[in-house]
Structure formats: C-alpha cells, structure tokens
Structure 1
Amino acid sequence: MVKEIKSSAIIEQQAVVISPSGEMEEEPLSLEYRVGSGDVLAISIPGITGLSFVKGEKKLLQRFRVSRTGKINLPVVGFTKVAGHTIDEIEERLCETFSPYIRKPAVSIEVIEFKSQTLYLLGKFNQPGVYYLERPISLVQCIAMGAGLQDSANLRGARLIRKNKIVPVDIYNLLHNNDARQNIHLMGDDIIYLPGSERQNVFIFGAVKKEGPISMINGRLSLIQALSVVGIGGESGTYDSQHFRIIRSHSPTRGELMVVDLGKIMSGNALPLSLQDGDIIYVPRSGIGNWNQALKEILPTLQTFSARLQPFVQLKYLMEED
C-alpha cells in the first residue's frame, strides 16, 4: 500500500509587513544644497574680498572653509554662521551684513569643495567607499554613484542606517519590482550596507543543546539537518515537536511567521522543510500558545544576536519600542 505524502509541515503561516516610517516618507526641504562644516566657499564681494592667488591664467576667488561650528571668518565682520543655509540664503545674509560698509554690496558665492554631507556605501557595491553629497539624491541615484551592485549582493539583507537606526526601506523591492515608494531621498551621514550572499546562516534557539547560528552549505539546509547539528531537546530532552516557530525574512520590510509540525516530517507525512538565509527557528520546550507568547520567550535571546540578524527582524521585533 502506498502511503499518502502531504506536501507541507507548515500548519500556520502569517505574512508581516512593516509600514514606512516618518523618516522614510520625509522629503528634503528643497533640492538646493545646504552648506555645512568642512565645505569650502569661494566668495566675491567687491571692495571686501579679492583674488587669493592666480593659478596659470585663471583667477581664483578667495576661499573660506566652514568651521566645525558652521562659521566662516570674513574680512571686516569676522565670524559669520552659514551652515544649514543655501547659497542664495547666504548671499542674501552677507548683503545685509556688509550693507553698513558698502553701498549695495554685490555678493557672489560658489561651493568649491563639498565636504559636509557624507554618504557611506559599504559592502557589495562595485565602487564602495565614502562619498560627499552635492545635492539631495535618491536611493537609485546613490546606487548609481557606487557604480551599481556586485552579483553577489544580498538585497534581502540590504539596509539603510540613519542616525544609528535601520530605516524600513526595501532595496530588493525597489530594484526587482520597481516599487517607487522605496526610492527615498538620502541624507548626510546615511549608511547603505549591502551584505554578500557568500555566508548564509540560520539561527536556532530554545530546546536545543547549542543555540546560535548554523551555516548553510551552498545556500542549502533543511530543518532536519539544522536540528541534527544543534542537538534537539536540550538538557531535559523534552520539546514540543508540533509547534516549531520560524521567523522568515523576505526583505527589510517583509517577512512571515510560521508554525511547523516537525512530527509530520519525521513520520513521513510531509516533505522536508528547506530553510532560507536568516531564518530564526525556535524549538519550544512545551506548548506556548500564540505568537505573542512565543515572541516574549524568544526576544531576550534575539537581543544577544541582534547585530547578526536580518534587518526585518531588527526593525519589527528589536527596535519597534525605541
């Protein structure tokens, strides 16, 4: 007699989507560049500033570097704050500042060196490194600035870090599904990190002898294989085989929660379950009810490995209450 094989050991599946944050929806105040500390300005004020030197046959205007306090040291009036303002705004301010000394002052300013708004492109860009923004740019323009992505870039694990926090932006969805909502404008000091797909892991916690990451071989690993590595049952040897919990990340903003019946796989009533990079498997010691109760048990352990987890998990479960 041929035994019927059921297709899946997944007995519960729940999609989870992270909504855009206020930072993601935020647009730049204007498309004009705002001067900051480290920038170098060439300033022409007839009767006040002159030519600093001549290079070949080209006459160069006197240059002023913006200090850490956001000021430049001008003749006659001394230190003047310029950081945070556009060129037009600075020209207007200097016209007012010098009006007591010059009749109808004519001020002309140009940014010679853009050094205040840093953008860090890390990981699997074709040209990773430190860049300086000359104007507000979008995420797609940023990728072009880094000369595109390497073939080994893991977009599902890509992350935008702003002010030491991960921003819920989905680079995978932007590039593969043309989701224009993800094409946000970047800010100075933003970090874009693109991990590689060479090193892939899953994480197993709960009733096992060895909690932590398990390496995937050539991107492949089944649930049974992973459990054989960590030793199921832990010290007591007891666990709930019917309600394994898996948190799966599809992108920084999309994932799913799954409940898996290991007993169905072990008895041959379901096919082996293939794991994916970043999966978090929780082996319960006993019945733990719904997902809210399960997450309450898992979270303390996740905090220990937070830096190594997928951005979806960090955003949804480790940073939501900040």
Structure 2
Amino acid sequence: MVFQYYRQFRSWALGIAMLGALTQVQAQTGGSSASYRIGAGDEIRISVYGQPELTAETQVSADGMVMVPLLGNLPIAGSTSAAAALVAGRYEQGNVLKNAQVNLLVTKYRSQVVAILGKVNSPGKLVLEGPTSLTQALAWAGGIAANGSERLVLMRTAPDGRQERTEYDLQQLLNQEAEPLPTVWLRNGDTLYVPNAGRFYLNGEVHSPGMYSLDRPLNVRQALSAGGGPTARASESSVKVFRQQAGGSVQELRAKPDDRVLDGDVLVVKESLF
C-alpha cells in the first residue's frame, strides 16, 4: 500500500516537474532562432531593411546553400546571426548596398532532430527549435511511462564517430536547488532512451513481501520502506541481500541501510532472536 501511494505521488510530482519543463520548451520556440544553428532542410526568410524587393523565402539545400536575391547561392549553414552578417557583407562587398541591414528568420525548423525512445508516454522524433535540455525533451515526450526507469540514457555520436553513452538520474536533474548540476543540452542526432524499471524482491519479516519496481536509485532502508517496513519481529541489523553474479551464481551479502539496491536483488529480513 505504501509503495502504491509512492507510485501515485511519483507520477504526480514528476508530472508537475515535466509540465514546468514543457512550459519552458513552448516559451523558447518563439524567440530562439538567434542561437539556433541553421541546417539542411530548414526554411528561412531573408529581408533587408528599406529594400522590400530583396525579401526572399527559401529552403536550405543539402549542402547548406540558399539562393539570395542579386547574390546567387550562398553557404549559410550555421548560426542565424552569422548567416545574416554573411549576406549583409556580400551585399556591401559587391557594391549592391551600403550599410546593409539584413534580418534572417527561420520559419520552419527541420534540420536538428533528436530521437526519444523507450518507456516514455509519447516516443518519437523531436525537432529542436532552439536550445532544448534533456528534461524539456522528456516533457515533450509526455514524461516517463508507468513502467519506465528514472535512469535516463543519452546516446551521442562523438566527433571521431564513436557512440558515447551517458546515464543521468532524473531526480538529480530536476532537483537543482538541492544539488545544482550543469544543464544537459541536446544536440542534433542525439538519442534519449528510457529503459524499463528494474525489480527487487522483499522477503522475511517485512509487512508486504513481494516484488517491487526499481524505478529510481534506492538504498536498503528505502527498499524496506517500499514494503511497509520491517515487522515488530524483525531484526533490522540482520538484513541479507542475495545478488546474482555475471556467471549465474548467487552471492549472499550482509546489507547495510545505505547500501545501494541493484536490479534483481532479493532482500531478506531475518527474525529477531529476542
């Protein structure tokens, strides 16, 4: 029963946190183009102050080029501010305009995409319309599903082509006041994966023996609380952990309250002799 209430509270609390992150995502989409890096497939609008005839709406080609009035094809892949400065510079260098003031706006974002997979409520591909953090992307995907883990896996391609795998604890990312961490910003080509929640088992002198979801980092004390805590007959100083090893053998360990519980662990609370 206690664990059921925890699950309900977890869903409610994470929902509130994810709603806050989603609000930040929505707030960014209107004014983030200045820091956005233009890529192939994006649609843009180029305008020149005082020169309405030079306004153009075009799409970035696969090689990062766009057709600019009076200048022809120009390579503008990169930041919007740098692209606007490039166009203005070319107008001035070609003696077409003096003191050209160019504005460049992304009208459709299509080039920067991340995949959100695994145990989320709405998996899919997210088009980045500006700086987007890991928690904001998770909010876009509807948050973690009921059988998902709060251990998040980010897959990213390194400059040398290798796949880098990094794990994050969602609670730590959301609880910035207690433990400030650098914001995890997503990049084009990233994959965010939410695995299945693990399992652990309680047996012996606990109020509710059985199997429980290991959807967040737990120590032995917290795991026992999930089962309603030890009974009056329990010896809290005599908790055993049975843990399967890589070769298939089972190791018996004497557990301490702050020891980490791993996926598949069986916790047995012995009866007190007195």
TM (normalized to structure 2)? 0.55
The root-mean-square deviation of aligned C-alpha atoms, in Å, is 3.2
2-structure distance, mates of 1:274, 1:31: 55
Task: Return the letter of the residue paired with 1:81.
Answer: P
Determine whether 1:44 maps to 2:9: no
Match of 1:81 among 55, 75, 80: 75
SS at match of 1:169: strand
Post-superposition shift, 1:155? 2.4
Aligned residues of 1:170 and 1:182 also touching (Cα < 8 A):
no
Match of 2:132 among 134, 137, 143: 137
Match of 1:155 among 150, 159, 181: 150
Determine whether 1:35 maps to 2:38: yes
Aligned residues of 2:118 and 2:193 also touching (Cα < 8 A):
yes
Determine whether 1:189 maps to 2:189: yes
Task: Return the letter of the residue paired with 1:187.
Answer: R
2-structure distance, mates of 1:170, 1:149: 12
Task: Return the letter of the residue paired with 2:242.
Answer: S
Within a 5 Å distance, the mapping from 1:211-290 to structure 2 comes to 220=201, 273-275=241-243, 280-282=245-247
Task: Return the letter of the residue paired with 2:54.
Answer: T
Task: Return the letter of the residue paired with 1:32.
Answer: S
For structure 2, which runs of at least 5 residues remain unmatched after alignment?
Answer: 1-32, 158-162, 204-215, 218-237, 250-262, 264-274
2-structure distance, mates of 1:147, 1:31: 27
CA deviations over 1:121-148 (Å, ceiling 9, x no partner): 1112222110111111222222222222
Q: 1:108 to 1:37 in 2, by over 3 A?
A: same
Aligned residues of 2:84 and 2:104 also touching (Cα < 8 A):
yes
Post-superposition shift, 1:103? 3.3
Q: 1:48 to 1:81 in 2, by over 3 A?
A: farther
Determine whether 1:92 maps to 2:85: yes
Post-superposition shift, 1:75? 2.6
Q: 1:67 to 1:84 in 2, by over 3 A?
A: same
Aligned residue pairs total 176
Determine whether 1:126 maps to 2:94: no
SS at match of 1:160: strand
Determine whether 1:146 maps to 2:114: no
> What is residue 19 of structure 1 aligned with on the other side?
none
Question: Which has the higher mean CA deviation after the structures are superposed, 103-112 or 186-195?
Answer: 103-112
Determine whether 1:66 maps to 2:68: no
Q: 1:179 to 1:132 in 2, by over 3 A?
A: farther
2-structure distance, mates of 1:126, 1:179: 27
Post-superposition shift, 1:193? 0.3
SS at match of 1:143: helix
Aligned residues of 1:39 and 1:114 also touching (Cα < 8 A):
yes
SS at match of 1:274: strand
For structure 1, which runs of at least 5 residues remain unmatched after alignment?
Answer: 1-29, 51-61, 201-217, 223-249, 252-269, 285-309, 311-322
Determine whether 1:113 maps to 2:108: yes
CA deviations over 1:69-109 (Å, ceiling 9, x no partner): 11112232222111122x22222211111121123333222
Q: 1:183 to 1:31 in 2, by over 3 A?
A: farther
Task: Return the letter of the residue paired with 1:165.
Answer: E
2-structure distance, mates of 1:88, 1:176: 34
Post-superposition shift, 1:194? 0.5
2-structure distance, mates of 1:184, 1:41: 28
Question: Identical aligned pairs, as a percentage?
Answer: 25
Post-superposition shift, 1:272? 6.2
